[in-house]
Structure 1
């Protein structure tokens, strides 16, 4: 069974969701100075937060959205801190820093807080065409030295296979972006159909801080 969702535009809803997240932060979290994530096509933990943040105890999630269900059960802070999945001081050596099978968690970053994002299974998808737009919401307005966007090769199955660097094709590398809360750019990934993973590396400008973001998409 396959699900599809359409990411919503960057609107005041995001501000409300961010405010809600901050209200739910428990004392041992550390992202009061929030960062950002890809919101369209939604990163895995942002999508789970957007769909279930105000209803995360609903038992219906187990059947309706099983990958989000396992993520909430593993660690709710994966979603409350959807904007904090990053590594520092990678020095551009992304493949060296992030082992195969841990790409969506940023290499087991933050003490394993995001490990559930590496789980293999039927993650909900956003419908896209061969040409689509990637949208970042950067609450802290860090800007970007660059973005690198990879898309899985045709034949890879996110529902049954862990994600590795060998599964990915680099389809876009941008230049720098000035600090802003909303950044978007176009991507082209022809020759694909079905469920794929868009893997975005956002190199923030304020520090050597690299974000690693998995978004599940369906190429129609």
Structure 2
């Protein structure tokens, strides 16, 4: 799931505000949920609000049909080896409007560097392999659709096949060595289906 967020570094570091773009593609904006083609696992990041969830709330415009189903941002799984093609990650290879990327296209969320809590709402929980959180690298080009080479993993949780509750929260240390506009992608990898898929939220 991807989200647009404004992340600020701790004051003691005297860094400029950090914008994290999660495109409901995760949590904020770029949050990806990995589920299966045969048994969809639906979910999105509610807080900080993902790109898709902000579409449902009306804070993002011209989003297409995702406004009715932010929990359905799903595609092929096993990210980053598998999953949507580069340039289609934020729309999970399905929701084309969410592929768009410019510095001003999506509503952003303010965040601070350091510990941040991500809250998932799962409408169809499934046995889970793991959860992964990525952030765009320093120097990424915010005028181009998201690609794997733009991302680095900064937080992960292994669920070992357990079935999660309908609400899941994770606390992750968002890198505090960035300032400006960045994107966060969250990935939910499903364990109980043969062909996992990805659901993005910011």
TM-score exceeds 0.5:
yes
Change over 3 Å in CA distance of 1:197–1:212 after alignment to 2: farther
Higher helix share: 1
- Aligned residue number for residue 130 of structure 2: 146
User: C-alpha deviations, 1:157-216, integer Å up to 9, x for none?
Assistant: 43x12211111111112111532111011112321112211111111244243334252x
- 1:211 matched to 2:195? The reply is no
Unmatched tracts of structure 1, length 5 or more: 7-32, 53-64, 216-220
Q: CA deviation at 1:5?
A: 8.0
What is the alpha-carbon distance in structure 1 between the residues aligned to residue 56 and residue 127 of structure 2? 23
CA distance in 2, matches of 1:97, 1:36: 17
Larger relative CO (CA 8 A, sep 6+): 1 or 2?
2
- State the shift of 1:156 in Å: 2.0
TM-score by length of structure 2 reads 0.69
Structure 1: distance between partners of 2:42 and 2:107: 24
Q: How far apart, CA to CA, are the structure 2 residues paired with 1:178 and 1:4?
A: 29
**1:127 & 1:116 partners in 2: Cα distance?**
23
Alignment-derived partner of residue 134 in structure 1: 118
Q: What is the DSSP-based 3-state SS (H/G/I as helix, E as strand, rest coil) of the residue aligned with 2:183? A: strand
Relative to structure 1, is the Cα distance of residues 150 and 4 closer, same or farther in structure 2, using a 3 angstrom cutoff? closer
Give the number of aligned pairs. 160
Q: CA RMSD in A?
A: 2.5
Shift of 1:142: 2.4
1:86 match:
74
Residue 97 of structure 1, CA deviation: 3.3
State the partner residue of 1:12.
none
Within the candidate set 109, 112, 124, 2:107 is matched to: 124
Deviation at 1:35, TM superposition (A): 1.9
Kindly indicate which of the two structures has a greater share of residues assigned to strand. 2
Consecutive unaligned residues in structure 2, runs of 5 or more: 8-39
TM-score (normalised: structure 1):
0.64
Greater than 4 Å deviation, 4+ residue runs: 3-6
